[in-house]
Amino acid sequence: MKFLLVEDNMELAQAILSRLRLDGHVIDHAAKIQDAIAFSELGEYDLILLDIMLPDGDGRDFLQRHRQGRKDTPVIVLTARSQVSDRITLLDLGADDYVTKPFDHAELEARCRAVLRRRAGSARNVTQVGDVTFDPVAGVVQVAGTAIKLRNRELRLLELFMNAPGQIFSKQKLVDRLFSYDEDVSDNAIEVYVGRLRKHLETSSLRIRTSRGLGYSLEHD
Amino acid sequence: MTDTVRASASLRRRLTLVLIGGAAVLALLIYFFVRHYATQIAQQGQDEVLGASVTSILDAAVIRNGTLEIDFPYASLSMLNTASDDRVFYAIYRDGEVLSGYPSLPRRAVEPGGPMSWTAVFDGTPVRITTAARRLIAAEGQTVISVSVAQTQDALAGTLRNISQTVALFGAGFFLMATALSFWATSATIGPLKRLTTSITRRGPQDLSPVAKPVPAEMIPLVSSLNNLMGRLDHSLRQSEDFIAEAAHRVRTPLATVRSHAEATLQRVEKEENRKALRSMVRAIDESSRAAGQLLDHAMITFRADHLERQTLNLTELVTDIVSRLEPVAEMKDIAFRVEAAPVVPVSGDPILLQNAIRNLIDNALKYSPGESVIDITVCMDETARLTICDSGPGFPPEQMAGLVDRFARGANAEGITGSGLGLTIAQDVAVAHNGHLVLSNRSSGGACVTFSL
């Protein structure tokens, strides 16, 4: 997916950029409202991540101009302010959602997915491996053209595997991606989800291979 | 806040007391002055008659052939007749020796000339005595005749009593009228003050605009310093709100940086001990940012709860809004919300406070629920509007149940779950501010239940 990040704090921007790029997203970075306007006029973005306190003005002004310009690119606001009334005005101004800094990256992803799903506009992000197609935004998985129902964590697990077929993921890495940091889970908890996913993929051409002591990888028959 | 104002005597009472006290003193002064004056006039009347009587007796005195003859007319004494049958006494002296009349009548030495009057006691009763003297010249030489006529004072006392009564009545009437007048004057004076008070009390909690209505000149210093104070209060409230927002921004932005870096690094490192350290770092960041956020929220709520801004709201709408906002977070743990709500549950309250309380309660349920579970949310209206949130987490430790709403109190089984211990406190404070309450319980099947009623 293609993101536009509007954030003046370079350190934070770098961290968000590296994390989103790690997940395979394309992302442009603007540090000022002026740059953001230029970027959003030139490029087509799936989603804009917008900070509120910016050096050359208030992010809400950008939001207002963005909406007045009839751009319907969804906007998720990154706010560091905590007042509830502030959050309400954000949504009134046309933001699709907001996260409060510091945010859990998984939550940001979940919110991005939810916003995109509401906008119902992303058939282009479908991944296909073997006879399995996966739309991460809509959360729809099809095996040989038939939709199957997966729980959220199973979807996230499948997403990881499908983004890098053949790559071995260690148990810890999978735990980090599937569980939030305040859940106390052992690495073995991942076995349950791998087991379920295997069951779902039984009829497909995909297999999940266990590499003893190393982790799991997605293999294609 | 009004309880702390110490009342000195009320202005109304003070003013009324001063006015009534003044009227009473005036009434008494009038009474004594008029009575004194009336007494003097009445006494003068009696003295004149006595004087006339004495003079007519003296006039009748002649010396014929060396003998003193006084043939005083009957009228000399009869002119002293009164309605009260006052008794009359007389005494005639020649060169200081009693010639005729009552020898024991009190006497005073007088020079020949105008009569002199005084009051004395004779025969056990007070009498008014008038004495005058006349010098008679004959061939043998001269002699001094003096005459005293005395009269009891029954008629005079009667007259004085009448006058006193009339004057007392007059004084009482004056006093009553002045009292009524002072009540009216007090009300008229206090009126603008009362109107100012009402206009300030009736203001909305956020209205800190200056008083615009005209006020009497004497109240201008008070009202202008009030306006001044409100201006400063408004300014400092705005400033502290900005400060809170700015402080939150300053604290959270670097925390966000550290957290994002830690998360990104976690994706790259393999060594278990490094991963552990990074995880606990992320947790500590979550803990501190959550605590900071809730402390600020709590401060805001404590402030707002003092000046509740009530609106009519639909509790169901509030709850479903918050639920849909938390849906993506719930989805991450495969938790589903099961909402059973009446379409309209009207409540009167502050939307920001209620939102905050409900969000905290649902947040709690989310945090303590295991993955792939269901959170039951019911909104209904019986005697009160009621919101119930039940999860299938570990539930509340029964022995701690009562103390969990206290500030910074956390359940013994909350180990490993980030929290500030303020979520339930906020919900409870909001419920209490709306005259409602928060009840904690455990489901028989396990899991915590929170009932928030308004």
A26 interface with B at CB cutoff 8 Å? no
Order across the sheet with A97-100: list the strands. Answer: A26-30, A2-6, A47-51, A75-79, A97-100
Asked if residue B187 belongs to a domain, the reply is no
**Of B24, B338, B8, B388, whose CA–CA distance to B175 is shortest?**
B24
B271 near A CB under 8 A: no
- Tell me where in chain A the CATH 3.40.50.2300 domain(s) lie: 2-119
- CATH class for the region spanning A126-220: mainly alpha
Does residue B190 sit within a domain? no
- Average pLDDT over every residue of B280-305: 80
- Please check whether residue B317 touches A, CB under 8 A: no
From chain A, the residues in CB contact with B252 under 8 A are 80, 82, 100-102
Query: CB neighbours of A61 closer than 8 A, spacing ≥ 6?
Result: A33
Higher per-residue pLDDT: A83 or B220:
B220
- The pLDDT of B198-217, averaged and rounded, is 79
Q: Is B264 on the interface with A (CB under 8 A)?
A: yes
Query: How far lies A42's CA from each of A38, A94, A96, B103, B309, in Å?
Result: 6, 21, 22, 141, 46
Specify whether B124 is located in the same domain as B256: no
Its pTM stands at: 0.65
- Contact criterion met (CB below 8 Å) for B28 and B175: no
Nearest CA to B55 among B25, B30, B75, B28?
B75
Task: Please give the pLDDT value at position A5.
Answer: 94
Three-state DSSP string of B14-56: HHHHHHHHHHHHHHHHHHHHHHHHHHHHHHHHHHHHHHHHHHH
Phi/psi of residue A65, nearest 5 degrees: -65, -40
Chain A residue numbers with beta carbons less than 8 Å from the beta carbon of B292 are: 82
Euclidean distance between CA atoms B355 and B300, whole angstroms: 13
Same domain membership, residue B257 and residue B277: yes
* Residue B220 CB contacts under 8 Å (≥ 6 apart), including other chains: none
Please write the tens of the pLDDT for every residue from A22-39.
777 889 999 999 999 888
Report strand pairing: A132-135 vs A206-211.
unpaired
Whether residues B285 and B326 fall in one domain:
no
In-domain check, residue B185: no
Whether B259 sits inside 8 A of A102 (CB atoms) is: yes
| One domain, residues B153 and B36 | yes
What distance in Å separates residue A16's CA from the closest CA in chain B?
6
CATH numeric code, A2-119: 3.40.50.2300
Query: Which residues on chain B are in Cβ contact (under 8 Å) with A15?
Result: 257, 259-261, 263-264
Instruction: Give yes or no: residues B214 and B287 share one domain.
Output: yes
pLDDT 10s digits, A45-76? 889 999 888 888 888 888 888 888 777 888 99
| Whether residues B396 and B332 fall in one domain | yes
Residues of A in contact with B263 (CB under 8 A): 15, 19, 105
Contacts of A101 in chain B (CB under 8 A): 252-253, 255-256, 289
What confidence tier does A124 reach under pLDDT thresholds 50, 70, 90? low
B325 contacts on A by Cβ (under 8 Å) = 97
The DSSP code for A169 is: B
ipTM over 0.85: no
| Residue B360 lies in domain | 308-454
User: And the tokens for B337?
Assistant: 């919300």
Among residues of chain B, what percentage have pLDDT more than 70? 96
Cα of A145 vs its chain's centroid, Å:
25
Q: Are B63 and B144 found together in one domain? A: yes
- Residue B1: pLDDT band (50, 70, 90) is very low
> Is residue B209 classed as helix, strand or coil in its secondary structure?
coil
Give ranges for CATH 1.10.10.10 in chain A: 126-220
Tell me which of B264 and A149 has the higher pLDDT. Answer: A149
Say how far apart CA B74 and CA B15 lie, in whole Å: 65
In a domain, B10, yes or no: no
Q: Is residue B337 part of a domain?
A: yes
SS3 string of B94-122?
Answer: ECCEEEEECCCCCCCCCCCEEEEEEEEEE
**B369-378 mean pLDDT:** 92
> Final residue of a domain: which of B161, B177, B197?
B161
Q: Is residue B49 part of a domain?
A: yes
Q: Is residue B248 domain-shared with residue B356, that is, in the same domain?
A: no
Nearest to B401 by CA among B429, B440, B360: B440
CATH number of the domain that B319 lies in? 3.30.565.10
pLDDT(B380) > 70: yes
Test A18 with B264 for CB contact under 8 angstroms.
Answer: yes
Whether pLDDT at B166 is above 80 = yes
Judge if B85 and B148 occupy the same domain: yes
Which residues between 134 and 193 in chain A have a beta carbon less than 8 angstroms from any beta carbon of chain B? Answer: 151-153, 170, 172-173, 176, 180-184
DSSP B51-77: HHHHHHHHHTEEEETTEEEE---THHH
Q: Find the distance separating the first CA and the last CA of chain A, reported in whole Å.
A: 28
Residue B119 phi/psi, 5° resolution? -105, 135
Instruction: Clarify whether residues B437 and B350 are in a common domain.
Output: yes
Q: In this complex, is the C-beta atom of B17 within 8 Å of any C-beta atom belonging to chain A? A: no
Q: Which of B249, B260, B335 to mutate to test the interface with A (most CBs of A within 10 A)?
A: B260
Number of domains in chain B: 3
Chain B positions touching A172 (Cβ under 8 A) are: 270, 272, 275
Asked if B147 and B27 sit in the same domain, the reply is yes
The C-alpha atoms of residue A75 and residue B295 are separated, in whole angstroms, by: 28
B306 vs B454: which has the higher pLDDT: B454
In this structure, the answer to whether residues B389 and B451 fall within a common structural domain is: yes
List the single best residue of A182, A183, A185, A187 to mutate versus B (max B Cβ within 10 A).
A182
* Alpha-carbon gap, residue B211 to B225, rounded angstroms: 11
Residue B3 has pLDDT above 60, yes or no: no
Could you tell me if residue B393 is inside a domain? Answer: yes
Q: What is the pLDDT of residue B28?
A: 92
* Nearest residue of B to residue A184, measured between CA atoms: B416
